Amino acid sequence: MRVEVINTGTELLLGNVVNTHIAYLGKTLFPLGLRITRQVTVPDGAAIREALFDAFPRSDILIVTGGLGPTTDDITREITAEMLGLRLLEDAWVTEAISARLARRNIPYRERMRRQAFVPEGATVLRNDNGTAPGLYVPPKATPAWSTPHLFLLPGPPRELRPMFEDYALPILKEIIGAAAPDRECRIYHVVGMGESTVEEVIGLGLDARGDIEVGYCARPNEVDLRLIAPPAILDEVEPLVREVLGKHIVSQSGKSIEQVVVEKLIETSQTLSLAESCTGGFLAHRITNVPGASEIFPAGYVTYANEVKERELHVPADLLRLVGAVSEEVARAMAEGVLREAGTDFGIGVTGIAGPGGGTAEKPVGTVFIALAQKGGPTVCERATFPTDRETFKQLATQSALDMLRLRLFA
Amino acid sequence: MRVEVINTGTELLLGNVVNTHIAYLGKTLFPLGLRITRQVTVPDGAAIREALFDAFPRSDILIVTGGLGPTTDDITREITAEMLGLRLLEDAWVTEAISARLARRNIPYRERMRRQAFVPEGATVLRNDNGTAPGLYVPPKATPAWSTPHLFLLPGPPRELRPMFEDYALPILKEIIGAAAPDRECRIYHVVGMGESTVEEVIGLGLDARGDIEVGYCARPNEVDLRLIAPPAILDEVEPLVREVLGKHIVSQSGKSIEQVVVEKLIETSQTLSLAESCTGGFLAHRITNVPGASEIFPAGYVTYANEVKERELHVPADLLRLVGAVSEEVARAMAEGVLREAGTDFGIGVTGIAGPGGGTAEKPVGTVFIALAQKGGPTVCERATFPTDRETFKQLATQSALDMLRLRLFA
């Protein structure tokens, strides 16, 4: 089935907001055997008409996001009804749900809110448990001019769209595609520590030559995804080859992030971790604590930008800081060992470096980072790397390396 | 001028990667007076042909991202040359640049890399200072079938695309559009603490009625952007009205984030900040340290998940933790005051709550958070909020509230 997505929103094209809908919908549709074949973003207003006109004949399932809210630039509902020749009727249940929601939150009911309760005749309301604008499912309709696809209208805010999609749109989609299990599966190998073309060279040609596997690659900072799409039996058959070639560089399969893998392993083995961050500024703690259950294994993290805080909290010797400087292997090691002792954990990580844009020297240019891993009763190791990039990518790359050092130790 | 963007990449549609190109290009083109009128994502491979075919007659400037790399699913360059009837010629300078780059990084040169050095005749190479695949600018070409737009082919990885676009594509774009200054300006008011429809009600109708201002809204967690597009003189004229109505809820204008505003104000007034985070797990420190120069004002942050760490590092009384529990107003206040004293800063923030999915009770459900702000020589205040949502949105909402409490104090 051909699935298309139309995102409406001037803010998406002006660049004030990143479009996260595509990735979310792609990931959520894939297990049903559905793949987005085309995605379009258009500004608010009349452009939605042309986009619908283009997509109607080309798609079997069409998902439209945005333009359902109470403000005057939200006109997706009205244009759809007009193009399909459907009257808009007020749904008393929706009106009631909107005013009840507003009352619970002490927000005054405003007349403009009421527009959101109008539903094209024959459409099914998709409840919004996290906002006011309901979604809509409009079944296919044959008109003299065209026959329309299964049409899903969803609200723009991700925290409204996502639960609505999972709770109310997916069941309808499952009915549409029937009970048949998808015959192809997608396996993604997260690979760290190998470049994209190396990954392809070591594995791609052999798999490509088979012809029965769709092979794709995607490179991100310090990480490559190798994506194989084929019937499950074929994926099982090549799995040993993939694992033999990529070996310890495979962080996970089927989408688990490196922080998930690390936290879950710590939980499983009842070991704990503490962090001493300078240049990564709390981002490593943030990544760890994004994983549910992190509180079981992560008692304490320190963001020690100032030298005196490194001394006071992590017991890094003042002499050492003076002698070799805060950005050094010795200080990274002292931070990792200091936080391990202070927090009484099984592992301690210390990160110190120069995120930039200021602070670089000839010997230690912007992007220099030292990452140390200490283990109770085990050796402390330290790696030096240089990531000369912007501040946020630097944090991404440095924390990725730190997580990988810990991962390799945990799975050694 | 009509500007369209085509993003190629199966990974964008499968959901493994979020498409950040649209937002970046939209933001970067706007100051030139250019707006993206349509954006399309297609999978790797043959779909690029249909997308180019659709976009050629409709656009004056066409930007294509992805598909320029060394792997077999990268075919943007080849299909473009074929559709425009241009021969691909090897550019010796590019071949040399690629092998020199690889040599510097100790990556072996592989024959497949060479494809990236082929350039359609008449095209201009856009240097890639952060990767191997160069970009290309192909000037308009009239064929019997169509006349093509100004065509920019850019690599997929954001850290290669962005500097290339700014350093090598923008100068060409500026020549294309001529020296004329854009006659319209975009002003964005970041608003915190007001709902979207309240923002529209208080200000939208008055401005909409004028007819000479394009008004738009965009809601994100705990934040609304009010976007006005008009000639600068008109924007200046309505500025006092906007400021009078939205008042202290305006965090910034023209895109500055709340963390930028707060850090810059602290730097300007030579005041310092320390953080004691529990449920936000380092995300508040991460947001603060994303701002260049944060090291001047942020000596120390603590991520104190465990109670004993709250006691030991922040001097939260053990009795208090036992009596009222870690998630309480009293503990939030003790954390803020404790970190302020421990770090010797002018401000201290303490955050404690239940991010979920586990840990909620009837009295303190998942999503409950207490945020306290302490000031040297000033009062400590505490706010309670409930954000019953997923873990990452919870962190976003809680840190947004914490930053806004500090902002209101700094600008009081």
For CA atoms A290, A294, A298, A299, give the dihedral sign.
positive
Judged against a pLDDT cut of 70, whether residue A331 lies above it is answered with yes
Rounded average pLDDT over B208-215: 80
Q: Are strands A250-253 and A150-154 parallel, antiparallel or unpaired?
A: unpaired
Interface test with B, best of A5, A22, A266, A399 (most B CBs within 10 A): A22
Q: Structure tokens of A32?
A: 């049903």
Q: Number of residue pairs across A and B with CB atoms under 8 Å? A: 311
For CA atoms B117, B122, B123, B129, give the dihedral sign.
positive
* CA–CA gap between residue A64 and residue A214 (Å, rounded): 28
Residue A292: list chain B partners with CB under 8 A: 356-358, 391
**pLDDT confidence of B208, banded at 50, 70, 90?**
confident
* CA–CA gap between residue A224 and residue A240 (Å, rounded): 19
Residue A245: per-residue pLDDT: 84
Lowest mean pLDDT among A91-95, A165-169, A191-195, B155-159: A191-195
Q: Hey, is the C-beta of A227 within 8 angstroms of any chain B C-beta?
A: yes
Lowest mean pLDDT among A70-74, A322-326, B118-122, B288-292: A70-74
ipTM of the prediction: 0.75
Residue B71: per-residue pLDDT: 77
Q: Hey, is the C-beta of A116 within 8 angstroms of any chain B C-beta?
A: no
Give alpha helix (H) positions in B105-247. 158-164, 170-177, 196-199, 205-210, 232-246
pLDDT cut 70: percent of chain B above it: 96
Bridge partners, residue B370, by sequence:
B352, B384
Residue B142: per-residue pLDDT: 77
Q: Hey, is the C-beta of B129 within 8 angstroms of any chain A C-beta?
A: no
For CA atoms B250, B252, B256, B259, give the dihedral sign.
negative
Residue A195: per-residue pLDDT: 65
Residue A229: per-residue pLDDT: 82
Q: Are strands A88-90 and A118-120 parallel, antiparallel or unpaired?
A: antiparallel
Between B249 and B31, the more confident residue is: B249
Residue recorded with tokens 């730190």:
A402
pTM of the model: 0.77
Between A75 and B374, the more confident residue is: B374
Nearest CA in chain B to A31: B14
Residue B41: per-residue pLDDT: 96
Residue A355: list chain B partners with CB under 8 A: 289
Cis peptide leading into residue B144 (ω within 30°): no
Task: Read off the pLDDT of residues B291-313 as tens digits, 9 standing for 90 and up.
Answer: 999 999 999 999 999 999 999 99
Residue B348: per-residue pLDDT: 98
Interface test with B, best of A6, A14, A49, A128 (most B CBs within 10 A): A14
* CA–CA gap between residue B198 and residue A378 (Å, rounded): 59
Rounded average pLDDT over B253-268: 91
Residue recorded with tokens 């604590």:
A289
pLDDT cut 90: percent of chain A above it: 59
Residue A216: list chain B partners with CB under 8 A: 10-11, 44, 73
Rounded average pLDDT over A364-368: 92
* CA–CA gap between residue B288 and residue A281 (Å, rounded): 8
> For B404, what's the count of Cα atoms within 13 Å in the CB-facing half-sphere?
19
Option in B10, B218, B303 nearest A301 (CB):
B303
CA distance B254 to chain A (A): 10
Between B13 and B195, the more confident residue is: B13
For CA atoms B90, B94, B95, B96, give the dihedral sign.
positive
Residue B330: per-residue pLDDT: 97
Bridge partners, residue B90, by sequence:
B118
C-beta of residue B141 within 8 angstroms of C-beta of residue B123: no
Beta carbons of A157 and B72 less than 8 Å apart = no
pLDDT cut 70: percent of chain A above it: 96
Residue A374: per-residue pLDDT: 98
Q: Are strands B223-230 and B214-220 parallel, antiparallel or unpaired?
A: antiparallel
Task: Read off the pLDDT of residues A135-181 as tens digits, 9 standing for 90 and up.
Answer: 999 999 877 767 789 999 999 998 899 999 999 999 999 888 874 45
- In 3D space, the residue among B186, B348, B218, B334 whose CA is nearest the CA of residue B273 turns out to be B348
C-beta of residue A224 within 8 angstroms of C-beta of residue A195: yes
Rounded average pLDDT over B58-79: 90
**pLDDT confidence of A204, banded at 50, 70, 90?**
low
Residue A306: list chain B partners with CB under 8 A: 295, 299-300
Judged against a pLDDT cut of 80, whether residue B332 lies above it is answered with yes
Residue B18: list chain A partners with CB under 8 A: 18-20, 22-23
C-beta of residue A197 within 8 angstroms of C-beta of residue B110: yes
Between B285 and B247, the more confident residue is: B285
Eight-class DSSP state of B117 = G
Task: Read off the pLDDT of residues B314-330 as tens digits, 9 standing for 90 and up.
Answer: 999 999 999 999 999 99
Q: Structure tokens of B387?
A: 């954000």
Residue A182: per-residue pLDDT: 63
Residue A124: per-residue pLDDT: 95
Judged against a pLDDT cut of 80, whether residue A199 lies above it is answered with no
Residue A207: list chain B partners with CB under 8 A: none
* CA–CA gap between residue A187 and residue A253 (Å, rounded): 7
Q: Structure tokens of B110?
A: 């592989």
- In 3D space, the residue among A128, A133, A131, A103 whose CA is nearest the CA of residue A118 turns out to be A133
Rounded average pLDDT over B351-374: 92
Query: According to the 3-state scheme, what is the secondary structure of A75-119?
Result: CHHHHHHHHHCCCEEECHHHHHHHHHHHHHCCCCCCHHHHHHHEE
Beta carbons of A14 and B26 less than 8 Å apart = yes
Instruction: Give Dmax (Cα) for chain B.
Output: 84
CA distances to A100, A219, A372 from A338, in Å? 54, 35, 11
Query: According to the 3-state scheme, what is the secondary structure of chain A?
Result: CCEEEEEECHHHHHCCCCECHHHHHHHHHHHHCCCEEEEEEECCCCHHHHHHHHHCCCCCEEEEECCCCCCCCCCHHHHHHHHHCCCEEECHHHHHHHHHHHHHCCCCCCHHHHHHHEEECCCEEECCCCCCCCEEEECCCECCCCECCEEEEECCCHHHHHHHHHHHHHHHHHHHHCCCCCCCEEEEEEECCCCHHHHHHHHHHHHHHHCCCEEEEEEECCEEEEEEEECHHHHHHHHHHHHHHHHHHEEEECCCCHHHHHHHHHHHCCCCEEEEECCCCCHHHHHHHCCCCHHHCCCEEEEECCHHHHHHHHCCCHHHHHHHCCCCHHHHHHHHHHHHHHHCCCEEEEEEECCCCCCCCCCCCCCEEEEEEEECCCCCEEEEEECCCCHHHHHHHHHHHHHHHHHHHHCC
CA distance A161 to chain B (A): 13
Judged against a pLDDT cut of 90, whether residue B195 lies above it is answered with no
Task: Read off the pLDDT of residues A259-295 as tens digits, 9 standing for 90 and up.
Answer: 999 999 999 999 999 999 999 999 999 999 999 999 9
What mean pLDDT is reported for chain A? 89
Residue A134: per-residue pLDDT: 93
Interface test with B, best of A2, A4, A12, A16 (most B CBs within 10 A): A16
DSSP 3-state assignment of B383?
strand
Option in A218, A281, A292 nearest B11 (CB):
A218
CA distance A390 to chain B (A): 9
C-beta of residue A370 within 8 angstroms of C-beta of residue A276: no
Task: Read off the pLDDT of residues A72-118 as tens digits, 9 standing for 90 and up.
Answer: 778 999 999 999 999 999 999 999 998 888 888 777 777 778 889 99
Q: Hey, is the C-beta of A95 within 8 angstroms of any chain B C-beta?
A: no
Residue B294: per-residue pLDDT: 95
Q: Structure tokens of A25?
A: 């919908």
What mean pLDDT is reported for chain B? 89
* CA–CA gap between residue A232 and residue A306 (Å, rounded): 53
Q: Hey, is the C-beta of B42 within 8 angstroms of any chain A C-beta?
A: yes
Burial (CB count within 10 angstroms: exposed 0-12, middle 13-18, buried 19+), residue B135 = buried
Judged against a pLDDT cut of 70, whether residue B180 lies above it is answered with no
Q: Structure tokens of B292?
A: 């260049």
* CA–CA gap between residue B130 and residue A238 (Å, rounded): 34
Beta carbons of A14 and B35 less than 8 Å apart = yes
Q: Hey, is the C-beta of B254 within 8 angstroms of any chain A C-beta?
A: no
Judged against a pLDDT cut of 70, whether residue B68 lies above it is answered with yes
Judged against a pLDDT cut of 60, whether residue B157 lies above it is answered with yes
CA dihedral A265, A268, A273, A278 (to 10 degrees): 30
C-beta of residue B348 within 8 angstroms of C-beta of residue B313: no
Give alpha helix (H) positions in B46-90. 47-55, 76-84
C-beta of residue A225 within 8 angstroms of C-beta of residue A189: yes
Residue B35: per-residue pLDDT: 86
DSSP 3-state assignment of B380?
coil
Residue B287: per-residue pLDDT: 97
Between A186 and B231, the more confident residue is: B231
- In 3D space, the residue among A104, A96, A150, A88 whose CA is nearest the CA of residue A127 turns out to be A96
* CA–CA gap between residue A279 and residue A270 (Å, rounded): 29
Residue type, A399: T
